[in-house]
Amino acid sequence: MGSERMEMRKRQMPLAQDAPGAAPGQPGAGSRGSNACCFCWCCCCSCSCLTVRNQEDQRPTIASHELRADLPTWEESPAPTLEEVNAWAQSFDKLMVTPAGRNAFREFLRTEFSEENMLFWMACEELKKEANKNIIEEKARIIYEDYISILSPKEVSLDSRVREVINRNMVEPSQHIFDDAQLQIYTLMHRDSYPRFMNSAVYKDLLQSLSEKSIEA
């Protein structure tokens, strides 16, 4: 009996080694130990190497989210005075130089569904303040994805020449990579949106409210 069992076990050993799914150089199912990783065909989500790779993949996403939050979407400012609001009518530059003026103008742009022009301009101003090369590159990528890419719902209107220059410089962006684009959008807002803002309810209501307060005082 003993010799027959030994003979049976010898016959089964090569069959186990040639089991389906065990290609040459690949361990069979029975050889997968607790230290196996995703490179050892276990496809286990608890593998240490996979965990490390997932953590590394998440780092840029987290950093991008934090940097995107740093880009301004609204500016805190004291309420504008009557003198300031009257000055906005003198020139577009005087409107754009104050946070209160930019906020009021942005509120108007939102009614015209062109708020992205102001957001892009503000993001460019924020980028110019950066000195860290890595942060500059990441913020430039975020601005590109949000306002330059043709796939973005917030794409701003730029001519092909400016786009080509930006695309070339995105290989190694500086804090001034969007200067030409920013000037183009500034000019667009000045010529197109600013005259309508001066005749809008947003501006007139604000001016009237401050004028009434001035008289009461």
Domain span at residue 112?
82-216
Nearest Cα neighbor of 114 from 85, 90, 147 is: 147
- 19 within domain boundaries: no
- 131 within domain boundaries: yes
Mean pLDDT of all residues belonging to the chain: 79
Mind listing the pLDDT tens digit for each residue in 20-68? 444 444 444 444 444 444 433 344 444 433 333 444 344 444 456 666 6
Residues 148, 163 contacting (CB under 8 angstroms): yes
- 191 within domain boundaries: yes
- 5 within domain boundaries: no
- 39 within domain boundaries: no
- 90 within domain boundaries: yes
pLDDT for 119 beyond 90: yes
The CATH code of the domain that includes 166 is 1.10.167.10
pTM of the model: 0.68
- Number of domains, the chain: 1
pLDDT for 140 beyond 50: yes
- 110 within domain boundaries: yes
Mind listing the pLDDT tens digit for each residue in 78-113? 899 999 999 999 999 999 999 999 999 999 999 999
